[in-house]
Structure 1
């Protein structure tokens, strides 16, 4: 898959930002997950996908960075071109930077169940090569983050989203100029919480995204809910070896109105995915 120059530059900038301040701690991993119940709006259900990802998180004096890049490879139920036996391919990139207000101001931002507060900014970007829509998403995010007082971590953010897309169908030669959706809000949570005394952790994220006005074709959008959680077992720690290196686990994704497409509308059941997966991660 050939990526546009803009997305490559975006990824490079994110990597540079995420490593420039990694003075206090960092964690980088490569991972693989697989499921057989993926779905795509305006398409079908029970798509098989393999997903390879690169993930980096780091902290520095004034805050933290998070970067994730997924390479998603579908089977032929989500074809790469009309009538093709090869599956679609997609790259999806997420970058977030959180500025810790307590560290910046040398003041306390703790109250009730909240142990700290920050300001989060970042972006999402994707490129997909498929038989139809061929997404070229770009999205900027900004808003407050509340760091909850729990074992491990639980961060809850309220983010303002500025999203656009410019899909292009190279097979029909038709495309849409970059279209800006209505600015909208997202309530999001990310967590990693240890489970008892065993080397197990409950990890994941959940997003509730408000409707974003009409889409680029004049149709309605709907509120989107995406839960992605996994229970991961630390093999090294369980075997009495170095902890935090190799993890395996089970993952489940519940995604209603995927990408804002109402599943009760023209997008159909493909906009409502319920996907169990297996997952493995190697940290270095």
Structure 2
């Protein structure tokens, strides 16, 4: 019954977000590209080259904001697309979040200390990957409170409950696993975008996730606490090419991902990634 209530509540909030999307007061849509040669995947001891194309959209309306992002990740041959293949795997990973500002809905001032507002966030993650060993088909609903901090740009910190499942297919053994639901678990997450200058216009953007253990995995093995931090320093080069502010941005990015997907790094090769990247964005 608790799982059903969680699912219904998250679903209703996501549906409410779609109804309000047409009434956006502001929005930012972007296409981006990033490249790195030190990606890692669990049970794979090789460094993997990936090209990542991204579409993102963020918008705000009277009572909250929406965020939607889709990554399309293209691996090299070290993350093969199938058993014995010389071509790399492809993956699509989508994230949606909707945050309702409780102060704006109630008319109350919920600010305190460095916090300017309090909200509730709901959304989902969904992916599909064609690779030799796992062929992930993740489905995840999220729901929980959010604190919005009073900083230049934005800093949101949320404590979310995660309701996650997967239904992998092993290309080596040709074994399909029925959709398996992990224990509902918690994630402490932060997302930020902080503008600053060092003689040129820059911004410090990113997210950080601390994800609790999710019980046994679909094969009966243990899961571990997961840490995923992705940080970018971006330069706004729009003025140099005669475009409006924040139209074209380029910079460097670094991702640290320990116990990736809950796989314990102490026993699983490739479960920790340390990945420097270059990144370019076009906003419209």
Common fold: TM-score over 0.5 = yes
Listed one character per residue, the Cα deviations across residues 149-189 of structure 1 (whole Å, up to 9, x for unaligned) are 11110000000000000002356431111101011000000
Partner of 1:280: 280
Q: Kindly report which structure 2 residues correspond to 1:157-236, keeping only aligned pairs within 5 A, or say none.
A: 157-170=158-171, 172-196=173-197, 198-236=200-238
Q: Once superposed, what is the RMSD of the aligned Cα atoms? A: 1.8
Shift of the alpha carbon at 1:44?
Answer: 2.3
Partner of 2:75: 74
Shift of the alpha carbon at 1:85?
Answer: 1.0
Shift of the alpha carbon at 1:242?
Answer: 1.4
Partner of 1:121: 122
Q: Does the residue aligned with 1:204 lie in a helix, a strand or coil?
A: strand
Q: In structure 1, what is the Cα distance between the partners aligned to 2:19 and 2:32?
A: 18
Q: Does the residue aligned with 1:244 lie in a helix, a strand or coil?
A: coil
Contact 1:110/1:117, CA 8 A, preserved across alignment: yes
Stretches of structure 1 lacking an aligned partner (at least 5 in a row):
1-9
Partner of 1:131: 132
CA distance 1:18–1:237, change in 2 (3 Å): farther
Aligned pair count reads 270
Shift of the alpha carbon at 1:240?
Answer: 6.0
Shift of the alpha carbon at 1:18?
Answer: 8.5
CA distance 1:230–1:180, change in 2 (3 Å): same
CA distance 1:200–1:143, change in 2 (3 Å): same
CA distance 1:19–1:128, change in 2 (3 Å): farther
Q: In structure 1, what is the Cα distance between the partners aligned to 2:135 and 2:245?
A: 41
Listed one character per residue, the Cα deviations across residues 110-151 of structure 1 (whole Å, up to 9, x for unaligned) are 001101011000000000100111000000000001001111
Partner of 1:150: 151
Contact 1:44/1:78, CA 8 A, preserved across alignment: no
TM-score (norm 1): 0.91
